[in-house]
Chains A and B, each alone.
Chain A
């Protein structure tokens, strides 16, 4: 490949891809509406920061992908692609100012152009965009040329600043809730009403650099020290680690404040759901898209038994909970029977249908006298634990934590049992599994029932946490989200479920105020994650063996 070809292939083409991405972000309105929030107060609005990040990233990728080792070519590619990327935006501004494209693209507003050109009218604004693109390209080029250490430091420091700015809505209330001299001072040092202070920005970057340098200098010693410990001591360290983790989990909500605890409970409910579906999909390999049905059944059973609105059964939460779980399991078996003979995608659509049937029935006017119809069921009392009313998310958190612990325990125990092996054999090859003496009917039904039981447990807690249940809460998206989270986490992996739930449910909740673009980013992230890490964020241990083992096979077959 000649240099000229590389400039075209890597500089211009990747720049064009970047240009389209930036254009999309601008036209869907992200730059404009994120422009109201500042990363650095008065200097850098979040929308612009996003455009800059894309521009730099694209230039960096363009340079990084260049197969020619000459630094000058890499640098040139970075500059070209940065420039091309900004060219798309410049073009948008030029066209948008002269023609009315707003009839079609609602995001192409004067406010967008103003944000992009920093308010400079005429050609000046367009030149500004191009110049900034060029600077981004040069910056990325410099990053490429730099050594590993300073490059990493710069990138991570910038990332820290961006994250601090992005999460300001979460961090400021925590500072505030302290109401304590030092923290008030710290809060004001870092943040204004909108964005980081300049001093705070610099300080955060410096603190980050110092910490990471310290860690870099010492990490090897720490790791080797741990490795050199005798086995007994290492085990002790591990036990101690577990202990610390347990203590951490227990005190966590006390430190987190209301909203983060609320997010934790949401994540926890999804972990419960994910662990259940992990048995059905991850272990037994049965793709179930109607998993929400059991969640709904759990919720509604608790609602009907405890709420005085429709019937006055007068159960309390603890009496209703086992009934909910048992009915969930029964429903799991009942769903399981008709779909026993279906495979793969036939199973997926049949279960999806089951989920929808349950939701529609709950919503229907026909069953309204018993299930509340569209008006749902309200006034579900909070759980009462030994005379203590669990009202706040912090209290519910413990309930969910206990549930998660129980379910994780059951999952681990089952996985390494005869039943667990039968599930996995069935996942791998149904016919052979049967030829090994595995009763497919019983094994499948056990999988459905166990998953359904976990899901119903989650639903029961959900109902008592929210205090009211509505048919609309049990839509297909819950099922889809749960499937996504177990695969994003790493299919069949228990820690994967936790990570998946935290990333797919927790992160979007944290960034709730960007609700309009939540699904947009969520969708893009799902695609990107699957393309970059198809095995999931925390894959099951055996997949690690596999990566390891692959080389082994190759050498063996070669021999």
Chain B
């Protein structure tokens, strides 16, 4: 132990003496054989692991499909666990930001991690494309220059929350709704958009409640909600908490038969495990995969062949598109001179923002100046008993607006 520490200190010391200040610039030069380095920062631990792992698999397939090489340089993908929270986001982003060889980042999984991490990446000039951050403020022009290097290939909550409200009000014809969030950036903003839209449409929000992540006993808060007599309960939280709410709402008098709805954060087979039979008849809003067509079927086949399973969460296709977006843009801006490849990350960011009509799994991607690239197709899914038995989320949308 002592020796290890001594050796460690010696090495740190050695290199601290040897190193010279890094010339931080926005231009990355790659020698022959050096890889084009992309870094992901998904959640790869904790209760939301499936969200990040699903994205990671999408990214790996995308790199394979691209051919694994860019202008003769191999493509390297590695990354950090951003743990679905600002803490993890900050730390993961710092680590990525400090590696001068990173050309672009893909992530994060959760909006809270992105809000904390993206400014750190962008301070170091690393552009970032997220496949699954849905919080509206990330691409809000008011969010300031910190988010200039930020793009996303998924829909934003303004769309998803609004569709959920429209579905509840117009389609189901329900006038009184209640919401629950868990204090995460994602859930809080989604329920806020939902409530605003629902009220605008003419409905009433009986209460907007909140729980803490890690809470298990939702019955008291559900009893409180029941006292307001809502017909519709919207709780866009992650798997564990959504599972508890779904199960326990059946046990609280006054809520046994009301319509339940969650969002894409819990649109995962794990959710069916967590919620059990209580999930029957509940709704989820999530990207519409049935509208994606042929290329998506091919992707699914590849996924099955490579990992021996179907995707676990809704954002694999968005990740695939995100990686393709980055690689195409790098291809556009990279300058070859002899054996070296020079990539200007500012130009790369600009090129990505100017992407128009790129064919992707989730539709045609066209980025606007704020960084929203998604072609939003959000559908509502309804879980049936058969889905629960099969342990898979319903593959067919129950309702869609378009």
- A-side interface residues toward B, CB under 8 Å? 152, 155-156, 159-160, 163-164, 167, 171, 173-174, 176-180, 183-184, 193, 208, 252, 254-262, 360, 363-365, 373-376, 378-379, 391-393, 466-468, 470-473, 475, 509, 512-513, 515-516, 532
Return A331 CB to nearest CB of chain B, in Å: 22
Q: A374-B181, A376-B115, A393-B94 are in contact. List 10 more A-B contacts (CB 8 A).
A: A178-B19, A252-B16, A254-B21, A255-B17, A255-B19, A375-B137, A473-B86, A513-B95, A516-B81, A532-B1
Note all chain A residues with C-beta closer than 8 A to B35: 193
The answer to whether B95 touches A259 (Cβ under 8 A) is: yes
Q: Does B188 contact A (CB under 8 A)?
A: yes
The answer to whether A177 touches B45 (Cβ under 8 A) is: no
Which residue of the partner chain A has the closest CB to B213? Answer: A472
Return B319 CB to nearest CB of chain A, in Å: 19
The answer to whether B4 touches A470 (Cβ under 8 A) is: no
Binary contact track B197-214/A, C-beta < 8 Å → 1, others 0: 000000000001010100
Which residue of the partner chain A has the closest CB to B97? Answer: A258
The answer to whether A156 touches B7 (Cβ under 8 A) is: yes
The answer to whether A174 touches B15 (Cβ under 8 A) is: yes
Note all chain A residues with C-beta closer than 8 A to B20: 177-178, 180, 255
The answer to whether B183 touches A471 (Cβ under 8 A) is: yes
Say what secondary structure dominates the interface of chain A.
Answer: helix
Q: Does B348 contact A (CB under 8 A)?
A: no
Return B35 CB to nearest CB of chain A, in Å: 7
- Contact flag A176-B101 (CB < 8 Å), given A262-B94, A374-B185, A512-B80: yes
The answer to whether A378 touches B146 (Cβ under 8 A) is: yes
The answer to whether B210 touches A258 (Cβ under 8 A) is: no
Return A470 CB to nearest CB of chain B, in Å: 4
The answer to whether B7 touches A163 (Cβ under 8 A) is: yes
Q: Does B3 contact A (CB under 8 A)?
A: yes
Return A49 CB to nearest CB of chain B, in Å: 14
Return A529 CB to nearest CB of chain B, in Å: 9
Count contacts between A and B, CB distance < 8 Å.
Answer: 154
Stretch of B116-124, B269-277, B326-334 lying at the A interface? B116-124
- Contact flag A155-B3 (CB < 8 Å), given A258-B124, A364-B210, A516-B45: yes
Note all chain B residues with C-beta closer than 8 A to A164: 11
How distant is the Cα of A516 from the Cα of B8 in the complex, in angstroms? 22
Which residue of the partner chain B has the closest CB to A252? Answer: B16
Return B92 CB to nearest CB of chain A, in Å: 8
Note all chain B residues with C-beta closer than 8 A to A373: 183, 188
The answer to whether A375 touches B100 (Cβ under 8 A) is: no
Q: Does B128 contact A (CB under 8 A)?
A: no
Return A56 CB to nearest CB of chain B, in Å: 14
- Give me 25 A-to-B residue pairs in the complex whose CB atoms sit less than 8 angstroms apart, sorted by A's number: A156-B7, A159-B3, A159-B4, A173-B99, A177-B22, A180-B20, A193-B76, A256-B19, A257-B19, A257-B22, A258-B22, A262-B98, A375-B185, A378-B143, A379-B144, A393-B94, A466-B90, A468-B116, A470-B86, A472-B85, A509-B91, A512-B95, A515-B45, A515-B83, A516-B45
The answer to whether B15 touches A378 (Cβ under 8 A) is: no
The answer to whether A363 touches B22 (Cβ under 8 A) is: no
Return A485 CB to nearest CB of chain B, in Å: 16
Which residue of the partner chain B has the closest CB to A471? Answer: B183
Note all chain A residues with C-beta closer than 8 A to B146: 378-379, 467
When the two chains form the complex, which single residue of A159, A179, A512 contacts B7, counting CB atoms closer than 8 Å?
A159
The answer to whether B21 touches A255 (Cβ under 8 A) is: yes
Which residue of the partner chain B has the closest CB to A172? Answer: B101
Q: Which of A167, A180, A391, A472 has the most CB of B within 10 A?
A: A472
- Contact flag A374-B184 (CB < 8 Å), given A173-B99, A365-B210, A516-B44: yes
Q: Does B112 contact A (CB under 8 A)?
A: yes
Q: Does B23 contact A (CB under 8 A)?
A: yes
Note all chain A residues with C-beta closer than 8 A to B120: 466-467
Which residue of the partner chain A has the closest CB to B98? Answer: A259
Q: Does B87 contact A (CB under 8 A)?
A: yes
Return A381 CB to nearest CB of chain B, in Å: 11
How distant is the Cα of A466 from the Cα of B189 in the complex, in angstroms? 22
Return B49 CB to nearest CB of chain A, in Å: 10
The answer to whether B11 touches A167 (Cβ under 8 A) is: yes
Which residue of the partner chain A has the closest CB to B49? Answer: A516
Q: Does B217 contact A (CB under 8 A)?
A: no
Instruction: Please name the 7 residue pairs, one residue from A and one from B, whose CB atoms are nearest each other, closest first.
Output: A259-B98, A258-B98, A177-B22, A470-B86, A515-B81, A374-B188, A374-B183
The answer to whether A468 touches B86 (Cβ under 8 A) is: yes
Note all chain B residues with C-beta closer than 8 A to A378: 115, 119, 143-144, 146
The answer to whether B101 touches A173 (Cβ under 8 A) is: yes
- Contact flag A473-B87 (CB < 8 Å), given A174-B15, A178-B20, A516-B45: yes
The answer to whether A365 touches B80 (Cβ under 8 A) is: no
Which residue of the partner chain B has the closest CB to A365? Answer: B210
The answer to whether B80 touches A515 (Cβ under 8 A) is: yes
Note all chain B residues with C-beta closer than 8 A to A375: 115, 137, 185, 188-189
Q: Does B78 contact A (CB under 8 A)?
A: yes
Q: Does B24 contact A (CB under 8 A)?
A: yes
Return A196 CB to nearest CB of chain B, in Å: 13
Note all chain A residues with C-beta closer than 8 A to B112: 374, 470, 472
When the two chains form the complex, which single residue of B16, B23, B94, B115 contacts A259, counting CB atoms closer than 8 Å?
B94
Note all chain A residues with C-beta closer than 8 A to B98: 173, 257-262, 393
Binary contact track B34-58/A, C-beta < 8 Å → 1, others 0: 0100000000110000000000000
